[in-house]
């Protein structure tokens, strides 16, 4: 049942907006830092297995995680002050430039914050203030992070895809979107379907058409919406990919591969915002 966001009062609506913007700011950090953290981890593990010194890290020295070190300007290294870290507003007041050196700050930072806020408010509007709303918000935030990480690095981190998968199975214990058996089968079928597509394409062309992260993301969507939703999820993501990705390639005249993860995430979020009706079988 849909619930009007403003029916809870303007204070609740403003609080929800502020929390969503803050989460969007955190997602900017996650999108940039998680791949770097994983790269460091892989390098350390590789060095340990080969019993060779860990390769020097050319960009970051010392501890590096989601909280340390503090955010800095990429050009001058100046630490970003709290007053200059207010979601969207600081970027607008600074006119998209560093307060210390004047270097341009990517417009993607406020874009991620605004996207997170809009999608989060849409979820609260649809699901109301309820436990399922928290799960739907988690889906939304993970989907946004996965999409931008995939765009940047062609990587869908296991820590995010597996979290989404297990959360989908957990909420369907009580049948939030489908029964548990359908969710389990959906997770298995989602992975195996893209695995088969991958190997068929590779055997025919000798090229890799997608990564294993895409298998895991579709498995997560299957865990959320059940196996019957998989055909429409794949179709919807493919259609979005053809129009958005194809349009991008035509405009940029680029031959670089298009990541499939963002389009799977979009299809999953459309299913989420419609309570799975858009991917229901005919």
Residues whose CB falls within 8 Å of the CB of residue 68, separated by 6 or more in sequence, listed in order:
none
**Residue 131 pLDDT > 50:** yes
User: Which has more pLDDT, 114 or 6?
Assistant: 114
The per-residue pLDDT for 280 is: 64
d(CA 87, CA 22): 7
Average pLDDT, integer, range 82-97: 90
d(CA 32, CA 82): 19
CB 280 within 8 A of CB 229: yes
Helices (H), 154-260: 158-171, 180-205, 212-225, 230-240, 246-252
**Residue 146 pLDDT > 50:** yes
The per-residue pLDDT for 1 is: 38
pLDDT digits (tens, 9 = 90+) for 243-264: 887 777 777 666 677 899 999 9
Residues whose CB falls within 8 Å of the CB of residue 144, separated by 6 or more in sequence, listed in order:
24, 27, 112, 115, 116, 119, 265
Residues whose CB falls within 8 Å of the CB of residue 115, separated by 6 or more in sequence, listed in order:
24, 144
Q: Is 40 exposed, middle or buried (0-12, 13-18, 19+ CB in 10 A)?
A: middle
CB 99 within 8 A of CB 84: yes
d(CA 216, CA 212): 7
pTM, rounded to two decimals: 0.90
**Residue 53 pLDDT > 70:** no
The per-residue pLDDT for 254 is: 65
The per-residue pLDDT for 252 is: 67
CB 123 within 8 A of CB 272: yes
């Amino acid at each position: 049942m849909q619930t009007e966001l403003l029916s809870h009062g303007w204070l609740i609506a403003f609080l929800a907006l502020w929390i969503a913007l803050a989460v969007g700011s955190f997602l900017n950090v996650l999108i940039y830092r998680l791949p770097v953290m994983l790269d460091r981890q892989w390098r350390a593990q590789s060095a340990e297995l080969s019993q060779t010194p860990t390769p020097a890290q050319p960009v970051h020295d010392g501890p590096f995680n989601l909280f340390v070190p503090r955010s800095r300007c990429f050009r001058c290294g100046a630490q970003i002050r709290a007053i200059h870290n207010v979601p969207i507003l600081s970027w607008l007041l600074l006119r998209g430039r560093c307060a210390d050196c004047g270097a341009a700050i990517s417009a993607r930072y406020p874009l991620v914050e605004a996207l997170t806020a809009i999608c989060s408010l849409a979820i609260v509007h649809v699901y109301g203030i309820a436990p399922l709303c928290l799960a739907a918000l988690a889906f939304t935030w993970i989907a946004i992070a996965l999409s931008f990480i995939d765009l940047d690095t062609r990587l869908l981190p296991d820590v995010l895809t597996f979290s989404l998968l297990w959360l989908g199975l957990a909420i369907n214990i009580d049948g939030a979107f489908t029964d548990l058996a359908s969710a389990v089968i959906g997770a298995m079928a989602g992975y195996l379907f893209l695995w088969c597509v991958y190997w068929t394409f590779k055997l025919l062309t000798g090229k890799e058409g997608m990564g294993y992260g895409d298998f895991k993301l579709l498995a997560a969507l299957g865990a959320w919406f059940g196996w019957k939703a998989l055909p429409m999820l794949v179709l919807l993501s493919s259609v979005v990919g053809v129009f958005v990705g194809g349009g991008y390639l035509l405009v940029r005249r680029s031959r670089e591969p298009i990541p499939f993860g963002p389009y799977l995430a979009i299809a999953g979020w459309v299913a989420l915002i419609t309570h799975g009706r858009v991917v229901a079988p005919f």
